[in-house]
Chains A and B, each alone.
Chain A
């Protein structure tokens, strides 16, 4: 069965995405790391669906795909706005809210 190594791979990919999200300050790379983490979650769903022989994993993959498409279209619009207004992509530069 390939589902156990696939789950391990999903964990590794999710950890890589999380490390990238926490360590990079360029907002475009943070988006890419989010995509990697979404893919890791989708791989976990597919592995679960393959393990039990059910189609629910692939249906959840479809929903994750929809979510990723909507998220990317809005987030890239925000990236364009930020780069237009602040002339940088550094996430630490967007500190107007003093968070």
Chain B
């Protein structure tokens, strides 16, 4: 358990270092996705399965896809630029780090001892009860945050398209 944690922590730190030192935006995003997946494995090892699943689905899935879309929108998609994206050096580093994580997950499944698994079900229940009990004001505040976020993103994106049409 501790060894798995330290390996995942090393993967997270290495990937984060590559994120902040890389010059290619798409490569940095690949490394950031690997860092987020390693972080979700750490969440699982800490006993927070729900947070681990949300980290992969929302952070690694939705938010990173949003970033990648914006990077694609920003730069002109020249053919030679795409060719550099799919070169060997672009994906070999993230692949090695992801393979390390895959080996860890395989070891976790094969070893069969899931000390955090046994307490999972009442924990989810406790999270739900606490979320809609004492933390209900936080849920309301989150909804009040998400609605201006939606309107703001719509507004910023809409003016861009109308200006692009006019000029």
Please list the residues of chain A having a beta carbon within 8 angstroms of any beta carbon in chain B.
Answer: 2-3, 5-6, 9, 12-13, 16-17, 19-20, 23-24, 26, 28-29, 31-33, 35-36, 39, 42-43, 46-47, 49-50, 55-59, 61-63, 65-74, 76-81, 83-84, 89
Secondary structure of the B contact surface, majority rule: helix
Instruction: Say whether, besides A58-B127, A59-B131, A61-B48, A9 and B9 are in contact (CB < 8 Å).
Output: yes
22 cross-chain CB contacts under 8 A = A2-B46, A5-B6, A13-B12, A17-B20, A32-B19, A32-B32, A42-B55, A50-B48, A55-B127, A58-B51, A59-B127, A59-B138, A62-B54, A65-B54, A66-B145, A69-B149, A73-B149, A74-B149, A74-B156, A76-B153, A79-B74, A80-B160
Q: Mark B126-167, 1 if CB is under 8 A from A, else 0.
A: 110011000100100010011011101101110110011000
Q: Are B146 and A70 in contact (CB under 8 A)?
A: yes
Q: Mark B93-129, 1 if CB is under 8 A from A, else 0.
A: 0000000000000000000000000000001001100
Please list the residues of chain B having a beta carbon within 8 angstroms of any beta carbon in chain A.
Answer: 1-2, 5-6, 9, 12-13, 16-17, 19-20, 25, 28-29, 32, 35-36, 39, 42-43, 45-48, 50-51, 54-55, 58-59, 62-63, 66-67, 70-71, 73-74, 123, 126-127, 130-131, 135, 138, 142, 145-146, 148-150, 152-153, 155-157, 159-160, 163-164
Q: Are B142 and A39 in contact (CB under 8 A)?
A: no
